[in-house]
Amino acid sequence: MQDVTIIDVSPRDGLQIDPKSVSTEEKATLVQMLVESGVSKVEVTSFVRPEKVPQMADASAVIKAVSSFKGLEPIALIPNLKGYERARIHQLSEINWVSSATETFNNKNIGMSIEDNLDQFKTVVKQAKSDGVKTCFSIAVSFGCPYEGDVSEEQVLALVQKAKEAGADRISIADTIGIATPDQVERLMGKVLQIASDTPVAIHLHDTRGLGSANAYSAYQAGIRIFETAASGIGGCPFAPGAAGNLATEDLVYLFERMNIDTGVDFEKLLDAADYAASLSSKKPLGRIRHVERKKIRG
């Protein structure tokens, strides 16, 4: 059994802000390559308003295109109740509900207060349980906000407690602007795990300042075993000025495998997926390890 779980978010978080039009077929091909590499959990799209995030306008078409992929556990991001109503007609293993640790970011990101967001999440949890779909409650800007600056641990931990009480099946802590440091990560994630107790916890890392891998290792040291990353390190948030891409899936897999931590991923096939992800993006991907000659990677 693998030691850690990798959730690749490149089809959604990786492509959402890219001005280059990426076809439904290309997104489906990326998902297929990820699944063939052994990454079974993939955040394939998001049900957001097309006028706000045009790249995700084909959400339904993407899910239909990947629905037959053997071994895939598709995840979709949901910003509100309307988004869930659009998503629930499809076969999803999990929906990812996003809140924020600060009021300003929550309003800019999803247009509502944290309290209103929580109220809607409680409604969605009940419906999702009836529909047989798992829920993840993700907390954006958990380590720093582009509008409010520093974010206290207390703000994040209070949301973790409320998410658990609401019945979330998983909780994800996001460093949306890539500002965290390893000591911060280890300290906060240890506290999150205590509150979450038997509810699985993931970390979602951006690599804006080049500390993604170091922060992932600190999270692992704290006890985190679920990591959200993006092939080739593409991506960013449309409502977080200056935020760069995600921690590259292949960089994290390389780190863990070198440490004899089993990811369950075929590294060579993952590199193929990372190369393809990079080709879909008009931005310079942050991933590092795929640039190394493959014959030298393991040496």
Question: Given 110, 226, 237, 253, which residue is catalytic?
Answer: 237
**Is position 136 annotated as part of the catalytic site?**
no
DSSP state of 233: G
| Residue 233 token pair | 């390190």
CA 3 remoteness from chain centre: 19
- How far from 280 is each of 59, 91, 212, 224, CA to CA, in Å? 17, 26, 22, 30
Query: How many CA atoms are closer than 13 Å to the CA of 297, on its beta-carbon side?
Result: 18
DSSP line for 78-112: E-SHHHHHHHTTS--SEEEEEEESSHHHHHHHHSS
Fill in the amino acid letter for 56: M
User: Which residue carries 């040496």 as its tokens?
Assistant: 299
Q: How far apart are CA 117 and CA 80, in angstroms?
A: 8
| Residue 169 token pair | 């099946």
- Taking Cα atoms as reference points, which of 144, 143, 126 lies closest to residue 135? 126
CB 230 within 8 A of CB 6: no
- How far from 101 is each of 2, 30, 106, 113, 223, CA to CA, in Å? 31, 31, 8, 11, 22
**Which active-site residues does the annotation give?**
237
